[in-house]
Amino acid sequence: MIDLKELQKNFPEYEEKLKRKNVDSSLLEELNKLFGELKLAKQNFEEAQALQNQKSKLIGQYMKEKKDVTAIKEEVSANKIKLVSLQDEMREADERLSALALGIPNIPDEDVPLGDDEDHNVLINEVLERPTFSYKPKEHWELSEDNGWIDFERGVKLAKSRFSVLNGTAAKLERALVAYMLDFNTKRGFEEVSVPLLVNSDTMQGTGQLPKFEDDLFKIDDENLYLIPTAEVPLTNLFRDEILKESDLPIKLTASTACFRKEAGSGGRDVRGLIRQHQFQKVELVAISSPDKSDEIFEQMVSCASDLLASLELPHRLMRLCTGDLGFSAAKTVDLEVWLPGQDCYREISSISNTRDFQARRAKIRFKDGKKNSMVHTLNGSSLAVGRTLLAIMENNQQEDGSIKIPDVLKSYLD
């Protein structure tokens, strides 16, 4: 959640920044209106409270002076009832403001490039040369048919569209990739953690999935439980409602989980293959940092994901996202896009974001900063989406006869 005190104090400045993230102006107008309502409600309550204190003192004074206090006691009793009503109004105004604020995205950093959508993202650099072929390279679903690796039809039979089954070498390769990624990340200082795949609504709200993205979540009927869309959710919320020691920071974590997404807004997109599945495996990076170290941690996480791709011999590029393409919670993001020769394009395989104190404010994650408690910064990133890594290996390492070369670093994991 954005800092509401700062937003109210510097509304025109924050309004301009939020518009860069394509926030609807009517939402901002409603927010400003609620600020006014809350301010008026507080003012009315404080005036009534001051009057109550004044009249209560007069009762004592009148009694010392042997004066009749009947009338003033009636005034105090009536004002006491009014105070309860005014307090309710103030609380309701605060609740309306907080509920609306939960739907307001994070403020983009000043150095985030301006732009409306992904067409305005900025190339940082390209890593490794793209492979060349003396024949037309196949897409991963064609290679799957040649090798019997992925069964899309039986995935649909078991569940519905956008589910799949990995067979034989593909299943082993998925397991090998998870193990290799976790080992790679732990060598970079990220502690491995195993977390629940089901979390409650407070956990989802803490990282920004609720209430805005409820339509994209799988919820368990009659339970306050949701299947996680990413390990970022449970990893970050491990520290919800906690005050950490400054000496404990930074906390750097990695986990492998299945992820579940309805892909509610992606009808008709990437319906074929592994690009956009309802269930997929992903290895995640999460960091909890003091504000002065979060930029350094951010660069470490970007390097970790890029070096991991390079170790798998996968050409990729790093893109700085523009304001219009930033995620809801992100203050800045670097996407890593892997080259897919079968599709003749780059596709996102990792997204590294610094959310500053946005998630920490929602989840109440603080640290003891000298004598006061301050909000931490939280960071998250894919390292990597395993299914997309698998298909990238298939397309980049395909041979003319349709077979697929396994990257050297994975061979020991397949023994």
361 in active site: no
From 290, 351, 353, 382, active-site residue = 351
Q: Cβ–Cβ contacts within 10 Å for residue 222, how many?
A: 6
Could you give the 3-state DSSP secondary structure of residue 199?
Answer: strand
Residue 196 vs residues 127, 203, 218, 225, 259: alpha-carbon distances, Å: 35, 11, 15, 11, 11
29 in active site: no
Residue 289 vs residues 195, 235, 245, 293, 357: alpha-carbon distances, Å: 20, 14, 11, 6, 10
Secondary element (H or E) of residue 249: none
From 362, 383, 388, 395, active-site residue = 388
Q: How far apart are CA 298 and CA 321, in angstroms?
A: 14
Q: At what angle do helices 168-187 and 140-147 cross, to 10 degrees?
A: 120
356 in active site: no
From 20, 162, 261, 317, active-site residue = 261
Residue 388's nearest CA partner among 321, 339, 318, 330 is 339
From 30, 174, 348, 374, active-site residue = 348
46 in active site: no
272 in active site: no
Q: Is 51 exposed, middle or buried (0-12, 13-18, 19+ CB in 10 A)?
A: middle
Q: Are strands 226-227 and 198-199 parallel, antiparallel or unpaired?
A: antiparallel
DSSP state of 139: P
From 96, 130, 240, 276, active-site residue = 276
- Does residue 52 contact residue 83 with C-beta atoms inside 8 Å? yes
Catalytically annotated residues: 261, 276, 348, 351, 388
